[in-house]
Chain A
Amino acid sequence: MKKNFRGLFFTPYVLWLAMFVIAPVALIFYYSFFDIHHNFTLSNYQEFFTSGTYLTMTANSVLYAFLITLFAILISYPMALVISKLKHRDLWILLVILPTWINLLLKAYAFIGLLSHDGLVNQLFQFFGLPIQHMLFTDSSFILVAAYIQIPFMILPIYNSLTDISGSYIRASRDLGATKWQTLTKVIIPMTMPGIKSGIQIVFIPSLSLFMLSRLIGGNKVITLGTAVEEHFLTTMNWGMGSTIGVVLIISMVIVMLLTNTKRKRRRA
């Protein structure tokens, strides 16, 4: 009796899966085998893996994404830890979420003002007697702004896993004579690994492809995989090469997912 009904729900959803999930990914793989003159070829991959530009670009994007993720963890973990101990922690975590509801481009735009030659940061530098820095359009400003944008997304999963820890574990570790530091490193951090891992997933993958940030903040100095995809698709119209870089991005995404998903799988087995 329920059969017909199920078909009714299934059809639109499965249609969506086929059209907007499977077909586009398949098309990107397909296009990666065509050069700019629509000839079937492996030359895109050959070019990618032999040319110095693409390899350094890949290495750079991975390095940038790694640094962004690292800074995000270093700032977010203590933040989540302290918030989870506060009395009105729900309210404080809401304050962490609030900036994520503001359009990313507006936040990037704010930094154009903050980091500019006469901006607030340089005014502070002058106040402390430091020389004026050219911060805009450098790779460190790109990493700074990207980390700023990603920090709330890192705090949330860590905070969630911290609040999932039952207080009795902490008390048990205290009773057994562990110092605060030992409780943190031997009990709390291992128990929040799932949170850290999903934070890495949420932050690292998008950081590989923040082309709007590298354009607005990094100038044209910072070229990541995302910038290259955007350029090949929208400027030089070399969709084949763009798709090839896209495939590389997809593969790195899958690798990150596999590396950060080990825990869940182990538990299920």
Chain B
Amino acid sequence: MEDKASKTGKIYITIVFLLLYIPIVYLILYSFSKGTTMTNFQGFSLKHYGELFADKRMLAIFLNTILIALLSSVCSTIIGTMGALAVHNAKRKHERETLLSLNSILLVSPDVIIGASFLIFFTALKLPLGFWSVLLSHIAFEIPIVLLLVLPRLDEMSPSMTNAAMDLGATPAQILSKIVLPYIQPGIIAGFFMAITYSLDDFAVTFFVTGNGFTTLSVEIYSRARQGISLEINALAGIMFIFSLILVGVYYLIETHNARNGRKKNLVEVTDR
């Protein structure tokens, strides 16, 4: 492919890229400042990282966040994959479409609606707010994205593969474990990683269902940021930035691996939160 962009075009995208990255660079740059504000850079220091690592409360919140992300992603990957199998095996076309549109409700709803309705739901069930309500909510809003990442794999699988297996006497359990699951495995892994990032990224839903005792990183950042600037948050941003770089890297490796195995869909299409 040749480069067909004009010079003005290139200048334009350079400016937009600069604008996109200035806030992020600015944020991380100040995590290394000796001062206490985000206005005057006062020389290099790692003291805010030191404070961050010494902060026991922050460490607990960090571990909570990771725990929620991992547990919820495992559960939502299992249920989402089952959902994809259910949608794939739907007999009539309208059955499939009903399932798919119900599936997308949580993907398109504004976060406040999801949060508020889950809050009502947990209160109606008399489930105390805290770890479990946050975990259940995260599982709930991650399922639809897993389904959407697994389903295309299933749909492109040739039916002759399962037919051949059946003719050769495989049981349904064998077909599932020996043929279907290995074939859709890349989709499942992609779904798992996407679920993790959804969980790490979520603020609004968690904010509604978290109650008083339990906090995740997003909620903690929000309450600290409301009190004003604290460069400890900048240090946290630096660490989370590296964390997301690693996640992007892993996700991209999986995706390019998938693409090499004949699938052309890219992550661009599913990144709409």
Contact = CB atoms under 8 A, between A and B. Distances in A.
Contacts of A112: 38, 225, 228-229
Chain A interface main SS type: helix
Nearest to A234: B208
B240 A106 contact: yes
A114 interface: yes
A109 interface: yes
A248 B248 CA distance: 36
Contacts, number: 256
B5 A250 contact: no
Interface string A78-97: 11011101110110111111
A87 B3 contact: yes
Interface residues of B, number: 91
A222 interface: no
Given A27-B117, A113-B229, A105 B222 contact: yes
A25 B105 contact: yes
A9 B90 CA distance: 11
Contacts of A99: 20-21, 24
B126 to A, nearest CB: 14
A184 to B, nearest CB: 12
B268 A16 contact: no
A194 interface: no
A13 interface: yes
Q: Which of B30, B39, B176, B245 has the most CB of A within 10 A?
A: B39
A101 B194 CA distance: 10
Contacts of A101: 197, 201, 244, 247-248
A71 interface: no
Contacts of A8: 82
Contacts of A95: 17
Contact of A226 (B38, B83, B112): B112
Interface string A192-223: 00000010011001101101100110000000
A110 B23 contact: yes
Contact of A253 (B86, B108, B221, B271): B108
Interface string A8-33: 11101110110111111101100100
Interface of A: 1-2, 4-6, 8-10, 12-14, 16-17, 19-25, 27-28, 31, 75, 78-79, 81-83, 85-87, 89-90, 92-114, 116, 118-120, 123, 148, 151-153, 156-157, 159-160, 198, 201-202, 205-206, 208-209, 211-212, 215-216, 226, 229-230, 233-234, 239, 242-243, 246, 249-250, 253, 257
Interface of B: 1-6, 9-10, 12-13, 16-17, 19-24, 26-27, 30, 37-40, 78-80, 82-83, 85-86, 89, 99, 102-103, 105-106, 108-121, 124, 136, 140, 143, 172-173, 176, 197, 200-201, 203-204, 207-208, 217-218, 221-222, 225-226, 228-229, 233, 236-237, 240-241, 244-245, 247-248, 252, 266-269, 271-273
Q: Pick the 4 closest A-B CB pairs, nearest first.
A: A113-B38, A24-B117, A13-B83, A209-B110
